[in-house]
Structure 1
Amino acid sequence: MTYTYRAATLDDAEILRDLLHASYAENLQYGVHFDATTVTLQQVQSHLSYNLCYFLEDDGAVLSTVSLRMPWGPNPGPCPVPHIGWFASLPNSGKQGIGSALLQWLETTILEEQLKVPYVTLGTADSHPWLGSMYEKKGYVKFGQKDLGKGHLTNYYKKNILEA
């Protein structure tokens, strides 16, 4: 497969909403309710207006997405650097490395080469059975935890992008 990567636009709001709903639905079986599970079209449009969002496509079909929430935006992460959010792949594409390919592209092309950030953060539910260990295998290190009132504690992870 030859993947292509592109920035999502407001015209992609319905595609993004549908991908998030399909991908995040699985988390309900673990008792984890991420906001993306039931995000509305209006919320997606707002998200696309204030954040960077990218797609991985194969032959024009969107297979995976990831967003960067900026520290100056309306929903910043815990540190003054970009924060990864809404990272999702179509459920039927699992175990093919699609999400890993998109994350690697984001870290290298966007965060390192374009934005030149020292590190990036992300957060995930402490009660999720495998997301934390998945991020740790990709080089992310847990650095904090917070109760955001979502029914679970959020574990924060960071990964160095540019070496000082």
Structure 2
Amino acid sequence: MSENYRLAVLQDAPRLQHVIYEAYVTIRELELHWPAAHADLALIQDNIHSNECYVLEKDGVIAATVTLSKGEEVKAVTDFPFVKWFAVDPAYQGAGLGDKLLTWVEQNIIRDQVGAAAVTLATAEKHPWLLPMYERRGYEKLYVFDFDNGDGPMHLLRKIVNPALYDSLQPGKDKQTIGSSND
């Protein structure tokens, strides 16, 4: 049984659409306004083209994915890289593949290639298990925001992936904006 980590290519879009759609059932049930939860093929292709979309293949089949954003989603709060669209095909859930992929991206991409001290991601407070899952993985709450779109409080989380580099950064690396909350 083989595992392979790699960047997605446009030809992966139909499989990625399936993985993300199936993995985001709870997001749709909670009526969260996350683009990935309703992504059509064109949006998946745009994500692959515009960002760094990583996949973990298990025996040649894409089982999990996560995207390193090239956008400006969190630049008002922090300069650290932002990951999004994390999903594991339900057929592969419980096998630790999501953990392996996220760890690989945190260490090999964020820490070693990008050279960042930390990584960020966001999740909804009302999701029943995502926030605790990320906290168990070492993510800490950095900032709370609400888009007033029915999603409720959203948490920007940070995980330090290079403690020595993080400690060497000047205070204030995480920008604080008016009305922010550091829980």
TM-score of the aligned structures, taking structure 2 as reference length: 0.81
Q: How many angstroms apart in 1 are the aligned matches of 2:45 and 2:78?
A: 24
Write out per-residue CA displacement over residues 44-101 of structure 1, whole angstroms, 9 at most, x where no aligned residue.
Answer: 122112110111011110100000113xx3x533422211100000112222111001
Instruction: For 1:154 and 1:104, locate their aligned partners in 2 and report how far apart those are by CA, in whole Å.
Output: 23
CA–CA distance in 2 between the matches of 1:112 and 1:2? Answer: 25
Give runs of ≥4 in structure 1 deviating > 4 Å: none
Unaligned runs of 5+ in 1: none
Give yes or no for contact 1:24–1:34 (8 Å, CA) kept in 2.
Answer: no
Match of 1:154 in 2: 154
Aligned-pair Cα RMSD in Å: 1.6
**Residue identity opposite 1:59 in structure 2:** D
Deviations for 1:9-54, whole angstroms, at most 9, x for unmatched residues?
1222222112111110133334444321111111112211211011
Q: Tell me how far apart the structure 2 counterparts of residues 109 and 136 of structure 1 sit (CA, whole Å).
A: 21
Matches for 1:66-77 after TM superposition, within 5 Å: 66-70=66-70, 73=71, 75-77=72-74
Q: Secondary structure at the match of 1:151?
A: coil
- Residue type of the partner of 2:122? G
Bigger proportion of residues as strand? 1
Give the gaps of 5 or more residues in structure 2.
166-183
Partner residue in 1 for 2:4: 4
One-letter amino acid of the counterpart of residue 62, structure 2 = V
Between the two proteins, the alignment pairs up a number of residues equal to 161
**1:112 equivalenced with 2:111 (yes/no):** yes
Write the letter of the residue equivalent to 2:134. Y
